[in-house]
Structure 1
């Protein structure tokens, strides 16, 4: 159960994102030419209350419990259940710090109807994964329990409601279970330790203006977690887990009347305590003066600057006029951040990245916050740039061109959301209704939101927009200035006095009004001469259309109805970095990012963004050791734009020395900062231990790597591979019409150049070390370790063997949760990952990563090895194998309705030259796996005479080891 410390996450809703994303108002220009019709709408009264989604049933029981019910068929045969408790760490008494989070853990340790370990085991048996599906989190103001339940059988849903009811007021809290859970929570706390945690604990008191929020981090205090009296935990549960502070959310493939009946059955009996403690309102005092803080740590990975302006009470979101105002606020934030992003496209950018705008700090309070990740230019240029953009907007406002683009972009986003309204995932709705309960976020539903936008967007003038900007942008009044970064040698660190003086200097810089050139109306002024589709056949079994084009390119089309506004594209062929020498490694490795960063055709990246305003389309290229790949995505109405981007990306890479230098400068700074992390040192040790000094194994970037990159050579390499479409086979999956996509394929794919290039890979002989190899690494200040174990060897790939292999890995992950975590309390998280390689040769790898305390390293290794050997000797427990099978069967049902899954499957079939029909026999292969096969697989794949063991210990342990 993750411990939520990121306060920005408290405001991340679909609604909030739409109101804070770049150019929310972009809907205007497209709103009147959309390919669907909307019902006529009566005049909207600005003072009318905002409605709730008409598809939602919201109600309240007599005991005060609120419920949200909505039928939603995406995904099918599944319902998302949530128990939301308006109680988090901010409600803890002094002797309870960390016990809101501890209470959440105890919900999985035995309750009225489920004995300890029984709940997780039962849910796994019906296909619900612990962590991936079943989960919970605790924050400052709330605790949320997450329970997805399959609806294949009525008993599953009934049990799901019983689980929620037990969490609400049926957790047992036995002394022995409480004491055992202390170790697991301490391991969770250990995971969060490091430079970020140390620095956060210094600046949060200032961010929260000394309020109780700064004293109540959800993870709590270790001394309290170790020593609290059992009754302190029970007191928190009794005081705050009560129906008048709870909501039950039910979204999915269920009849609302049936769900409401179950809510009444299982939750009407919950009682509020008498007397009930009043849930306090935590007020945050105002800043009285400007202040600066300089916080450094030798393990800090980035140097950051943050300006936080005075906290203000959040505006109301009660009536339709408030929604209109939020639309304007969304425009404002998106245009401001687009300006800041454009500043990074300079040879010497003032920062590596920046953002600004009004953010929720805690529920009920907003603050205008500017942040920047510093570049080599340092603090003053970053401050100057942040202030210049902020003050320029106050004085001059935005330009007509900026506002026009913002409207286009948001128009397309609203169009896509409206188109996908019937295909939205149930979990997305659940998250939105949780926020409604916790912070009263409006939930009018996308139909209403779209109608409101169409009604209001046209009437928002540039003058009104800029008047809002003047009011929303803070002046040079009271602010908090933070510098957070590294204190290693050579770093220029300001004093707090200096930092305040630098912000004052930046405020006084003279301003200039922004000028805007008109964006190009189209990507291509002249279209390529079309080629031809020379053959076409249909695979009726899989619903495929397969084409061969006049230039030899092949295309596979699968039209689906899984999404209403999504088209995915991919192609992959052999070759890749293996065709280039070691001396060219860095030019090859960075060729794609170098070319991307400079744009395409006559367009810089900034130009592209402006021209693509209002379009939903992107294309990417990539290269690994043995292949090169192309990928893309678009909305249903933007397929041609995606194909134009593809054509330009492959035929017209753009050279720009200034943007190249900007990329190199930024990457050097990021690389320099990366190596402050102990995890970076450990990662390097893992690679060198397993692969020695093989120069073709990807490693974390170092500053000096970027001195080895030549702009001309990188472009030459890119063009030598992506400039020819020879042997490319494109796969398209999604919401397109075959007759409409045919001419686009002829125009943009059949016309691609197809020079004769090598499309076979060369074996680079990247072979792992043999025998038993062990290495200890000492890095970092915190008392934390990580165990990495790697088993490698040769294999023979078949679909059946692949299924047995991964079933074995998943069974062992069940044992890691059950034994290493729940029974022995050695870890909080961690597990195994396994993979098969078919190119350049058949090999397998199994890697374990297990974070733990330094004193438990040997115990963790011994416990994992013991579980592996049990399976080798006796095979898996049948129940464990059935849990894995059930989970896979549920996943497969959902994957058959996923564009992403079909794209990956079809592309894999093309690349490896296998039968795509195999997707229809997945269930048969899953059901055929036996315990004896898993036993045999464990004997074959875990060779205790051939593995690598790498362990990270803290630096101060060095002398003792």
Structure 2
């Protein structure tokens, strides 16, 4: 696949409407790994010394120049993350190789010396490694990275995994027949990327990247090259750049380090060093004194987005002073992010969404980027609002209280990483070593970094952080990109006007006022009630409590994470209990109520109060149920339970914030109506069709928001959370039951309750029966999307759920083989089974893919052939074995994951199913056979088929 750096991905995705405020910028450094060693001394460090590398990582270099990184890490158990990194990407392509770095990545899966054709994928699938989800690769401008997560409890599979890496390194066969077949797959991947974003990007990239090599070498390449290049040209790229001095092998996992080092030395040491190698040019993006302004429009662009990018030379972190400087940048990002987020919480927000953030950019550059999504196309108001916040910092600086909170947030995030240092997953390490190899980014240990932060952060003064704004914001090497709907072209400001907005930002500003509230969350402490009944489910280490007020609690203490407790609560009812006239008020009830904050705290004050605490609590009201989702560190659990209690008993109305939110939503929805994107029109059609045109399955429109009554929404919210007696609460994570019990009895036992147990209303919304075909004609690009949806009633049982999962997996395997590998007609194809017990047991089976419009009928016919084959013969034993291996491997990891257990327990109790069902998975898998898949195919691929196709608009 093609990958852009994070900064460019954000720029490209900025065309999406931010319905709520942009997420806060991450304050923790991006380039730091975690580990368990390194003892630090108490004396202040010499800031001129180099950042110490993590000694738990074994780094070596073979005589042929190949670098390797090895680290033992037992999370998850019996697993390893392997990477082959090539420090070569699309930027190194010649004119007649455009797209071949990415093409070469694809070819590595289509045949190597020891794994001809598709044997590599087959072998790994048989070992439980999923193609795409696990086994994958990506190509960027400067690197190509192959990802291979594998089990380590099979010596054969583990050793063969390194053979696969070696084959990728120098044993690709590049068979001409396979090359020609893969052209179609690559062209389909390229087709998927086409649209308004791509068309506008092609116009502004040359200016943004100053006509550098990066502007001319997008990894996906050109259609001309991809359709006409000779295999010899691809082989030349492979020969030039896949060489040991540009390669790194990374292995992190639950294994013996000496054994792995021996395997690497044996297998990769036999790759011959390249004599007279081609120089690896390091391309720069040249600086420019002027401001590049590009205004681009497109008929499928739904909103107006303004981006101001201040580019500057990349900061290379080498010394401890560099590390200290990175902390300052993190604090700056946190504080500016918080301020801009507050702007969306006004009665009349100046934009739909926005942010300012300093980060790495591309090539030799970093950038400070400000982005605003304009409301009602008002470019001036949007960009001035964001830039005024930058200017406010420049004129008045941040406040001491803001810095104190940012430091607290920063320290809390690092403390969490430190506390989880023995539970860090291997995948979290490998990317650090990739960056070290490709960009010389240092990797230090969390022990060192945590102690360094404790010593240095308090000494960072407000003036130091405030001074960064002068480094970030400057008039040279600056670019302004405006993306807007084609229909608004005449209304857009000129280049001169845009420059004026940018240069004149900050007129008439006043200093930021940091308004906080110093009150307890709960003005009055709850009167609790005790646990009156207890039940043990020992085989899964679960305990059930019933409190005197009727509240049910399900607990599973774990040691999977040191600093994590997850919790949730649910009760039947939801919006289904309300008439259509109240539907919109009910639908938005939890969102609008949470926007008010809780108790005495408004939303902004609550965020500041919780700063530095690991607490997250969110109420929800769904169609069939309502409840709470949350998490907390053990030390913050009481605060989380206070907040939960407050959301139940002290909902707060903030009419101004709600007014601003609804105003933004109206603007966003109107943009979608004025310039409907093909994907949105198609998805709306899918939703309405599968919902049988129910009024509760219609696309949300601006006039629907007019039906919302805030007082009614608050009343509905209060009704849904008035009776805790029919709620079940779930706790999973690092807690002791005896210590949790008094907190549960106080806060959950203190919730109001009655003996009434509510149910949901069955609204009768079902996918329509029979054969239905709908084609949507929308979009100018030559691309189509297909969804085939089977549905029907279901007999609810674990066995049937497993058979549906098996059917989806074996069909997807066959669809990939047929539609992608044989027909070269798709890039990706999915087959997914969904099933639910409520409101009545039903299943939905979806098959989806994108393709060329001219191939729609052929590929649908091929899909039907595969389905008919499953009906006639059942699945192949080899494909069934792959499904079982993948499922068992996935479950092994899930059983050590708090998030899995929280969702699993909630589903089991919600459905009234056995809590220990997961322990009987092997028994259910044993029932998946050739005959069972045949029977399942005949049962679930029945007469109810909805065919939905998106095609480009017909030319007049």
Fold match, TM over 0.5?
A: yes
CA distance in 2, matches of 1:262, 1:685: 54
Q: How does 1:469-484 map to 2 (within 5 A)?
A: 469-477=468-476, 479-484=478-483
> Offset of 1:586 from its aligned partner?
1.1
> Offset of 1:924 from its aligned partner?
2.1
> Offset of 1:550 from its aligned partner?
1.8
Call closer, same or farther: CA 1:692–1:915 in 2, change over 3 Å.
closer
Q: How does 1:708-723 map to 2 (within 5 A)?
A: 708-723=707-722
User: Given the alignment of the two structures, is residue 362 of structure 1 paired with residue 362 of structure 2, yes or no?
Assistant: yes
> Offset of 1:493 from its aligned partner?
1.9
Q: CA-to-partner distance for each residue in 1:258-297, whole Å, 9 max, x for gaps?
A: 1110110110112343321111111222112123211111
Q: Give 2:210's aligned residue.
A: 209
Q: How does 1:257-336 map to 2 (within 5 A)?
A: 257-309=258-310, 311-336=311-336
CA distance in 2, matches of 1:24, 1:224: 42
Q: CA-to-partner distance for each residue in 1:353-405, whole Å, 9 max, x for gaps?
A: 21113222213311221111112372222222222221221222110110010
Q: CA-to-partner distance for each residue in 1:541-571, whole Å, 9 max, x for gaps?
A: 2212221112100111111001111111112
Q: How does 1:75-224 map to 2 (within 5 A)?
A: 75-224=76-225
Instruction: Name the SS for the 2:491 alignment partner.
Output: coil
Instruction: Name the SS for the 1:442 alignment partner.
Output: coil
Q: Give 1:683's aligned residue.
A: 683
CA distance in 2, matches of 1:689, 1:730: 35
Q: Give 1:621's aligned residue.
A: 619
CA distance in 2, matches of 1:940, 1:928: 16
Call closer, same or farther: CA 1:537–1:842 in 2, change over 3 Å.
closer
Q: Judge which range, 272-281 or 476-485, deviates more.
A: 476-485
Call closer, same or farther: CA 1:476–1:521 in 2, change over 3 Å.
farther
CA distance in 2, matches of 1:683, 1:464: 49
Call closer, same or farther: CA 1:758–1:184 in 2, change over 3 Å.
same
Could you list the runs of 5+ residues in structure 2 that have no partner in the other structure? 12-23, 30-36
CA distance in 2, matches of 1:688, 1:334: 41
Could you list the runs of 5+ residues in structure 1 that have no partner in the other structure? 12-19, 26-35
Question: In 2, are the aligned partners of 1:523 and 1:611 still within 8 Å (CA)?
Answer: no
User: Given the alignment of the two structures, is residue 901 of structure 1 paired with residue 900 of structure 2, yes or no?
Assistant: yes
Q: How does 1:566-585 map to 2 (within 5 A)?
A: 566-585=564-583
Question: In 1, are the aligned partners of 2:726 and 2:756 still within 8 Å (CA)?
Answer: no
> Offset of 1:500 from its aligned partner?
1.9
CA distance in 1, matches of 2:671, 2:133: 31
Call closer, same or farther: CA 1:521–1:280 in 2, change over 3 Å.
farther
Q: Give 2:14's aligned residue.
A: none
> Offset of 1:518 from its aligned partner?
4.0
Instruction: Name the SS for the 1:140 alignment partner.
Output: coil
Instruction: Name the SS for the 2:916 alignment partner.
Output: helix
Question: In 2, are the aligned partners of 1:397 and 1:469 still within 8 Å (CA)?
Answer: no
> Offset of 1:477 from its aligned partner?
4.9
Note the aligned Cα RMSD (angstroms): 2.0
> Offset of 1:464 from its aligned partner?
2.8
Q: Judge which range, 326-335 or 480-489, deviates more.
A: 480-489
Call closer, same or farther: CA 1:437–1:23 in 2, change over 3 Å.
closer
CA distance in 2, matches of 1:665, 1:64: 60
CA distance in 1, matches of 2:950, 2:666: 26
Q: Give 2:941's aligned residue.
A: 942
What is the aligned residue count?
Answer: 935
Call closer, same or farther: CA 1:564–1:609 in 2, change over 3 Å.
same
CA distance in 2, matches of 1:62, 1:521: 66
Q: Give 1:49's aligned residue.
A: 50
> Offset of 1:696 from its aligned partner?
2.2
Q: CA-to-partner distance for each residue in 1:134-189, whole Å, 9 max, x for gaps?
A: 00000100000001111121111110000001101110111111111100000000
CA distance in 1, matches of 2:167, 2:147: 14
Q: CA-to-partner distance for each residue in 1:581-608, whole Å, 9 max, x for gaps?
A: 1121111111121112221111122111
Instruction: Name the SS for the 2:687 alignment partner.
Output: helix
Q: Judge which range, 109-118 or 632-641, deviates more.
A: 632-641
Call closer, same or farther: CA 1:276–1:513 in 2, change over 3 Å.
same
TM-score w.r.t. length of structure 2: 0.95
Call closer, same or farther: CA 1:253–1:292 in 2, change over 3 Å.
same
Q: How does 1:65-84 map to 2 (within 5 A)?
A: 65-84=66-85
Question: In 1, are the aligned partners of 2:616 and 2:632 still within 8 Å (CA)?
Answer: yes
Call closer, same or farther: CA 1:21–1:440 in 2, change over 3 Å.
farther
> Offset of 1:714 from its aligned partner?
1.0
Instruction: Name the SS for the 2:879 alignment partner.
Output: helix
CA distance in 2, matches of 1:810, 1:829: 14
User: Given the alignment of the two structures, is residue 888 of structure 1 paired with residue 887 of structure 2, yes or no?
Assistant: yes
> Offset of 1:457 from its aligned partner?
1.0
Q: CA-to-partner distance for each residue in 1:297-333, whole Å, 9 max, x for gaps?
A: 1211331111112x32222311111111111111111
TM-score w.r.t. length of structure 1: 0.95
CA distance in 1, matches of 2:469, 2:772: 64
Question: In 1, are the aligned partners of 2:47 and 2:321 still within 8 Å (CA)?
Answer: yes
User: Given the alignment of the two structures, is residue 799 of structure 1 paired with residue 793 of structure 2, yes or no?
Assistant: no
User: Given the alignment of the two structures, is residue 814 of structure 1 paired with residue 813 of structure 2, yes or no?
Assistant: yes
CA distance in 2, matches of 1:914, 1:192: 43
Q: Judge which range, 855-864 or 629-638, deviates more.
A: 629-638
CA distance in 1, matches of 2:377, 2:946: 42
CA distance in 1, matches of 2:182, 2:472: 48
Q: CA-to-partner distance for each residue in 1:816-847, whole Å, 9 max, x for gaps?
A: 11111111111111211111221121211111
Q: Judge which range, 292-301 or 39-48, deviates more.
A: 39-48
CA distance in 2, matches of 1:323, 1:115: 47
CA distance in 1, matches of 2:668, 2:272: 54
Q: Give 1:933's aligned residue.
A: 932
Q: Give 2:725's aligned residue.
A: 726
Q: Judge which range, 105-114 or 920-929, deviates more.
A: 920-929
Question: In 1, are the aligned partners of 2:107 and 2:174 still within 8 Å (CA)?
Answer: yes
> Offset of 1:40 from its aligned partner?
5.1
User: Given the alignment of the two structures, is residue 666 of structure 1 paired with residue 664 of structure 2, yes or no?
Assistant: yes
Q: Give 1:341's aligned residue.
A: 341
